Structure 1
Amino acid sequence: MRLAVYNVENLFDRAKAMNLETWAEGRPVLESFAALNSLLGQVNYGDDAKKNMAGLIIKLGLEKSDTGPFVILRRNRGGLLKRPKTGGIEITAAGRADWVGSLELRDAPINEFAMRNTARVMNDLGADVLGVVEAESRPVLSAFNLEIVPAVGGAPFRHVMVIDGNDERGIDVGLMSRDGYPIGAMRSHVDDRLPNGEAVFSRDCPEFEITTAGGARLLVLVNHLKSKGYGGKAASDAKRRAQAERIAVIYAGLLQAGAEYIAVIGDFNDTPDSAPLTPLIAGTSLKDIFLHPAFDNGGYPGTFGACAAANKIDYMLLSPALYARVQAGGVFRKGMWPGVRPRKWDTYDELTRPAEAGSDHGALWVDIDL
């Protein structure tokens, strides 16, 4: 059987702030969005909080209207703010209970060529079981599978599953599988909590049970750990480490319950030697597929962007019993932008500029005798 994982970076729609030409353009928007959301969620709004809220609302382009270039402030009931004729923002609510609504990122369509190249990768991988990172929802992933994959000559997957996670941007994790590889029992960890009550996982750490064509029981845990993209380094590192620690505990529990074949896959947003990932990579018996003698990295140690060692952020970690059954593996980069001086790898003919890339991530695959 072939197991693969691919960060598709959304399928039909993506937050406009994440859909700009460069990450540097969207990062300030996402940072301001996260900061304002955090303040709006506080039980009580003190003077400092109100001042910061007003500044962030203006920064996000909401001074004149609840609809800004990148975000929407939805106010369903109650009073949150006033917009004086003299300008500025006045926060009138005393706390979260005084109003009903939400702050949301605005979406924009994905480039059509990029969409089709994403579908080509999903098809050309030839995976029997495919972990998907950054899918908007199950209905969206299902529609993409049934409409776009066949449009580029591919065969749709038989089973498609996404469990809605904690991220408000529509970047969840899921699983797709072919005939002969049904998805059985599923377990979500979306409600796992840290001691302070905060959710452990930015999205989820779903457990999917697959019965292989040979009758074996495979457990696949798909993950997308905290990004380095916005927020302070110390806070994001701490969050990612807490997530790695929790996955390690979940893995240990599965082993204790008698599971042999376990795969922890996804975008971990950090390198193998990083402190945040230490509990998972060095602290468990899981083995990184990149270290297997049958694995071919295509001449590049990374999985993201230019694929340097510092960009090795996508993973397939396998339990010892599963690792022992590996026959081959590699990184599929044909849907990634290859650079121009020189082009680093072969790509689809339809990929002529960065915006047409199926993803900034390579897809990982592994053939297992199972």
Structure 2
Amino acid sequence: MPVRIATFNVENLLSRFSFEQELDALRREGALNLLEIPDKQTFMDLEMARRVVTTDDMRQASALAIRDTHADIVCLQEVESLKVLRDFEKFYLHHLANLDYPWKRLIEGNDRRGIDVAALARRDYPIMARSHAGLTFDDLGVYDHDLNLAGINRSDRVFRRDCLELDTRVDGRPLTIYVCHFKSMGFRREPGIPYGSNNPRDITMPIRWAEATAVRRIIEDRFGKDGAARANWVICGDLNDHVYKEGNKVSPTGVDPLLNGGFSVNLIERLQPGERWTHYYPKDNHRTQLDYILVSPALAAANPDARPEIVRSGMPFRVPGTDGIPRYPRTGWARPKASDHCPMAVTLSMV
């Protein structure tokens, strides 16, 4: 029996909200700016009430999007804690969408905002989890000149969140899944750092390149450089760099170390060029692939017809080229939405 695997950045699945940090941004947008509010505390109380309503709308849509992946194993990004994951599964996935994922895995990683990678699995797929969050650039031999120029130390931790290694069995055969969430393309300019570009993507690419190289090293260390191609493994997650932008190939990217030399197969390439997107960035009005299901050469060869399905019914209406896609109830022009990412799923048989 094959297994269906999905990846989904659920966009800030949190139990907290820092009003103090975001107060200026809140004053610049949103319905509360249409009202005459006498003081800061009243503004914050009203914003809390508004946020509860919009969060409920968003998480209903997130649950419906996960439901529509029909996945046995769901790899998630941007989850605050195991408690939040359990609550989301209970009150949204189970109560709303009638889904049951008894196996839940989340290990606290390195993100400063406290967003972690996680996984859910159906009863037939018990999963063991191992974190690699503590590994440094030096540990994996991925430190280089570009990282040094960016002010990063070789003793710093290589993963911005984690590379969560999951092990399960499918029809008695082993399957390993690596859940990742690489460094974003955003950054804060630090004084004294000689940045060689004004493009945030270019400036942050060395970090993603190192993360991708680190994941490759972890896989090769486990299965061997020769054995990795023959093993059953999948890399899932938001890798925060685009191989495809509006259907066109982009090079170089921070994902390249995972693709170079045929190390893995990017299954989205089996779709038509115009379908190779999972994320919409409104500032530049472009659609890109930020989310990946990369499989070993053995799994790709054993599943020649496996094509990923991308669930777009939770995307807001402002995304271009989506007029014919049905939306979930209460989806808005910009918000509510399921996430700023689309979940993607594929069905695979083991070697």
TM-score by length of 2: 0.73
Structure-2 change in CA distance of 1:352 and 1:235 (3 Å) = closer
Select which of 297, 319, 330 maps to 1:320: 297
Structure-2 change in CA distance of 1:192 and 1:342 (3 Å) = closer
- Give the Å deviation of 1:229: 2.0
Q: Does 1:337 align with 2:337?
A: no
Structure-2 change in CA distance of 1:227 and 1:341 (3 Å) = closer
Q: Does 1:216 align with 2:173?
A: yes
Select which of 173, 188, 192 maps to 2:135: 192
Q: Does 1:253 align with 2:197?
A: no
1:1-370 equivalences in 2 (<5 Å): 1-13=3-15, 15-16=17-18, 25=25, 111-184=55-128, 186-195=129-138, 196=153, 197-212=155-170, 214-232=171-189, 233=200, 235-256=203-224, 260-272=231-243, 273-283=251-261, 285-292=263-270, 295=271, 299-305=274-280, 311-326=288-303, 327-339=306-318, 343-344=322-323, 345-370=325-350
- Give the Å deviation of 1:171: 1.2
Contact 1:302 1:309 in 2 (8 A): no
Per-residue CA deviation, residues 302-345 of structure 1 (Å, 9 max, x unaligned), is 11016987621110110011112333421111111132776443
Identity of aligned residues (%): 28
In structure 1, list runs of 5 or more residues that go unmatched: 27-66, 71-107
How well do the aligned residues superpose, as a CA RMSD in angstroms? 3.0
TM-score by length of 1: 0.69
Structure-2 change in CA distance of 1:283 and 1:198 (3 Å) = farther
- Give the aligned partner of residue 194 of structure 2: none
Per-residue CA deviation, residues 95-145 of structure 1 (Å, 9 max, x unaligned), is xxxxxxxxxxxxx65621001101111122110011001111111101110
- Give the Å deviation of 1:209: 0.2
Contact 1:120 1:154 in 2 (8 A): no
Q: How many pairs align?
A: 285
In structure 2, list runs of 5 or more residues that go unmatched: 27-40, 45-50, 139-152, 190-199, 244-250
Per-residue CA deviation, residues 145-194 of structure 1 (Å, 9 max, x unaligned), is 0121123232221201001000121210011100111103x221111112
Contact 1:207 1:221 in 2 (8 A): yes
Whole-angstrom CA distance in 2 between matches of 1:148 and 1:121 = 11
Indicate the structure (1 or 2) with the bigger Cα radius of gyration.
1
SS state of the match for residue 98, structure 2? Answer: coil
Structure-2 change in CA distance of 1:14 and 1:347 (3 Å) = farther
Per-residue CA deviation, residues 63-99 of structure 1 (Å, 9 max, x unaligned), is xxxx9x99xxxxxxxxxxxxxxxxxxxxxxxxxxxxx
